Amino acid sequence: MLSKFGQRGIQIRILMLLASVQVFSLMALANCPGSLPANYPRFRWQQVDWNYSGAEADTGVTNAMNDWNNATGQQYYVIGHTPGFTNEVVISDNADLTDVNGNPALGLTTHTPIGPPWICYLHVDTIFGFCYGSSMMMQPTIQINPTLITQTVNDYMAYGMTRDPVVEKTIAHEMGHVFHLENDDTAINCSVPSIMNTQGGPYQCPTLQNSFNGPQNCDVQQFLTDMQNWATFDWYMGTGCNQNVNCQ
């Protein structure tokens, strides 16, 4: 068992480390995450690929992507690892990573919408009829902090924590942001676990010795609810745009 001092110390540290942030501030919701504001772009294509250029083993990244595929049943999106496609999540290391308040952070996700000078920007897709507007995401970036990954491993080493699961938890959390989920900044509630919890839930639920690594039921339900009004399409069917038809 952690001493009261140890529990408090880890709680404070995880509050700083797990609070993965966006370029806009996020609102706290009770128990389960909510959705990001409507001005955050989303992927329109079903195929999502990732590319990691950092020094960590690919194991944690791969496991996190598989966690999302398995949890959602690949509804709306299918995550793979063939770098170079349109829906590419670019992942890298940043040992100096901080949040918007200047505090050290384990991860950071930045959403990049479609925009100029891309020739299809604000034109209509010739096959599916949607608009290539700023609501459509082009290439999000995820940064992870190897220094704080090491620190987190050390914090939980007594409970069997190793490096790959910390990377997995961090990437799974950041992919939640890619998929339009915001942080859950409420106190740990192991009866309603969430990978988006920033207070240490992914490290302490259901127990310190047996914590979860990927999205949980409430994360998936929020994702599916959020996606009800957002259609995705098969990139492999081919695409193009009618530059004579403008849209917003």
12 pLDDT higher than 60: no
Amino acid at 161: M
Q: In the structure, what pLDDT confidence band is assigned to residue 2 with cuts at 50, 70 and 90? A: very low
pLDDT at 18: 41
Percent of the chain with pLDDT over 70: 85
229 pLDDT higher than 70: yes
Catalogue all structural domains in the chain, each as residue range(s) with its CATH number.
4-231 (3.40.390.10)
| Least trusted range by pLDDT, from 1-10, 34-43, 58-67 | 1-10
Mean pLDDT, rounded, for 6-28? 34
Please name the residue that has the structure tokens 């010739």. Answer: 126
pLDDT digits (tens, 9 = 90+) for 49-88: 999 999 999 999 999 999 999 999 999 999 999 866 667 8
pLDDT at 85: 67
pLDDT at 41: 94
pLDDT at 8: 27
Q: In the structure, what pLDDT confidence band is assigned to residue 24 with cuts at 50, 70 and 90? A: very low
- CA 125/CA 67 separation, integer angstroms: 31
